[in-house]
Structure 1
Amino acid sequence: MIDLPQNRYALRHDPDDTWAIEDIFTGQTAEVNDVPQEGLDMEIADDLVDLLNLEYINRRKGTTH
């Protein structure tokens, strides 16, 4: 059994002094409903990365619908 990382998403500080959510597996900006998650304030990005990682963990466990 392969031991996958617990988190899939990370914060990225962009040159324009905003924040984005990065998919650590692909290196690409994460998307929610086809909207790239970039240009965010730090507080919003931090909350969103936590939510996306929780969803990813639950999906791997099979506990989401």
Structure 2
Amino acid sequence: MPDDRYTLRKAADGTWSVVDIFSDYPAEFGDRIMIRMNKEEADDMVDLLNILDRHRRSAQKQ
């Protein structure tokens, strides 16, 4: 989706990170930094973080 804030990035070692496209840094969820993940886990986290971000932005508009 064009308004998504988070995306996947593959590391040289074959693991995946969830990256904030605005800061270009790995995303954080709670106390966990979203790095060195398998693709399925990282993809699920991208979806979750983007849903939460859209919800947050929608609530701010109201």
Structure-2-length-normalised TM-score: 0.88
Unaligned runs of 5+ in 2: none
Greater fraction of residues in helix: 2
- Tell me the residue number matched to 1:47: 44
Q: How many residues align?
A: 59
Greater fraction of residues in strand: 2
Distance in 1, Cα, partners of 2:42 & 2:24: 16
Distance in 1, Cα, partners of 2:41 & 2:31: 18
- Tell me the residue number matched to 1:62: 59
Unaligned runs of 5+ in 1: none
CA RMSD of aligned residues (A): 1.4
Distance in 2, Cα, partners of 1:35 & 1:19: 14
In structure 2, give the amino acid aligned to 1:46. D
Identity of aligned residues (%): 42
Q: How does 1:1-65 map to 2 (within 5 A)?
A: 6-62=3-59
Question: How far is 1:33 from its partner?
Answer: 1.3
Q: Find the residue that maps to 1:20 and give its secondary structure.
A: strand
